[in-house]
Structure 1
Amino acid sequence: MSEYTGDVTRGGPPAVRDLGGGLTLRKVSVGPMDNNAYFLTSGDQELLIDAANDAATLLDLAGSLRTVVTTHRHQDHWVALSEVVAKTGARSLAHEDDAPEIPVATETLRDGDVVTVGEHSLEVIHVVGHTPGSIVLAYQEAGGRAHLFTGDSLFPGGVGNTRGVRKNFESLINDVERKLFDRFGDDTWFYPGHGRDSTLGAERGSIPEWRARGW
């Protein structure tokens, strides 16, 4: 397995990472907005984060898909969801505040809930601002680093778009700082809804700049 960088292009192969303990990550870019979709596989169980687009691509990559989690309500993150769920029978999970805007959300999530894949657990962290029901999924290696799937709430270079609404920006940056940066270490790797990955350590020093610029 080549070294994981997180760099993917639409139509290209997935980036593959061994997260230890029998859990494998595959990241693939889909759709005209280059959304990232993430497969987590453990034994004969599989979880998909954001069935964003290109259903055929996702179905070709899917093995025994049990669960799809949608990080937030924006359409570019669930274009392929209905087809993927219909053809795999997977559960479809989203936060209760965004689920009414997401097709085939069969179960709802709240802050602190746990989603499992095989013997591995991912914690649901509710971060309000990009949308009311945006979530981050946190996986902690046994004795090792944490991995955060941040949707459109955190990117390299700043928090997600809050469309100039100051209240939403303040909510999002406060939640991201308190629930992510204050809790997890610098080696924590995060995987956003678009583009390249980063670590909390690489971004931590920029938080005052993000606050000052207001986006």
Structure 2
Amino acid sequence: MTVDSSLLYDLPDYTVRRNVVSAMANNVYLITAKGTGAQILIDAADDLPSIKELLQDATGDAEVPTSLAMIATTHQHWDHVRALAGLVSHSGVPTAAGTDDIPGIAKESGVAIDLALVHDGTLSVAGIELVAVHLRGHTPGSIAYVLQPGSDAAPIIFSGDSLFPGGVGNTQDDPARFTSLVNDVEERLFNVYPDNAVVLPGHGDGTTIGAERPSLPQWRERGW
């Protein structure tokens, strides 16, 4: 399944677009800096032709020619990296991911990640800076990427499979992994970002921190 590229946000300094690819409905996100044309793509999940269309659709989003500058991966699971090798070969741009998921990404995709990210690290290209938030539990090295568009705009959190509308990501019925993930989501997202912060997950539609915050005790009680 492929869904045409949609412009999710047209902000003063950035655009954010999304394509939905594969039978698993993976979200592929593209951030474009209007002033520089630099772009970061988050999760080259599948369907390289669709990703190329996404890049093409964004060519008019900047004041100058656009150029992909970085491919960031949220986590190592195969459904999020199926087009990674193809996009790296096509574009020649560097890659980034959480340190603890780099071996898994190499195993699943054959791609050696260029930039290893840790909690509170930054991912920067010309005109875009993302904060890396390490959320342990769905995978050991899952990273959420946070864009701070400016003082008057809500932060945008690209949460991968760690936070969705209605709960945290799958931890395979492992209580220790669930506790780790829900603790990190509470401490590193809910306790840091305001209610209007947007959450864009790896599958499905987005939500906000404020919409999910009241449900945290329920998530803990049910264990997933």
TM-score interval, smaller chain: over 0.9
Deviations 1:152-192 (A, max 9, x none): 00000000000000000000000000100011111110100
Q: Which moved more, 1:85-94 or 1:62-71?
A: 62-71
1:194 deviates by: 0.2
1:61 deviates by: 2.1
User: Residue type of the partner of 1:27?
Assistant: R
State how 1:88-99 maps to structure 2 within 5 Å. 88-99=91-102
Equivalent of 2:21 in 25, 30, 46: 30
Match in the other structure for 1:170? 179
Where 2:144 maps in the other structure, the secondary structure is strand
Q: Which moved more, 1:94-103 or 1:78-87?
A: 94-103
Q: What percent of counterpart residues are identical?
A: 41
Where 2:139 maps in the other structure, the secondary structure is coil
Where 1:205 maps in the other structure, the secondary structure is helix
Gaps of 5+ in 1: 1-9
Where 1:133 maps in the other structure, the secondary structure is coil
1:31 deviates by: 1.0
State how 1:1-80 maps to structure 2 within 5 Å. 10-42=1-33, 43-62=36-55, 64-80=67-83
- Contact 2:5–2:53 under 8 Å retained in 1: no
1:19 deviates by: 4.9
User: Residue type of the partner of 1:132?
Assistant: P
Q: Which has the higher helix share?
A: 2
1:107 deviates by: 2.1
User: Residue type of the partner of 2:28?
Assistant: A
1:14 deviates by: 1.8
**CA distance in 1 between partners of 2:154 and 2:26 (Å):** 25
1:129 deviates by: 0.3
Say yes or no: does 1:153 pair with 2:185.
Answer: no
Match in the other structure for 2:149? 141
- Contact 1:40–1:117 under 8 Å retained in 2: no
Equivalent of 1:188 in 190, 197, 204: 197
**CA distance in 2 between partners of 1:127 and 1:80 (Å):** 23
**CA distance in 2 between partners of 1:112 and 1:187 (Å):** 21
Gaps of 5+ in 2: 56-65
1:88 deviates by: 0.2
**CA distance in 1 between partners of 2:75 and 2:3 (Å):** 25
User: Residue type of the partner of 1:21?
Assistant: P
- Contact 2:137–2:178 under 8 Å retained in 1: yes
- Contact 2:148–2:156 under 8 Å retained in 1: yes
Match in the other structure for 1:207? 216
State how 1:97-108 maps to structure 2 within 5 Å. 97-103=100-106, 104=111, 105-108=113-116
**CA distance in 2 between partners of 1:54 and 1:156 (Å):** 25
Deviations 1:55-88 (A, max 9, x none): 1110222252110011001000000000000010
- Contact 2:197–2:210 under 8 Å retained in 1: yes
Match in the other structure for 1:5? none
Q: Which moved more, 1:107-116 or 1:44-53?
A: 107-116
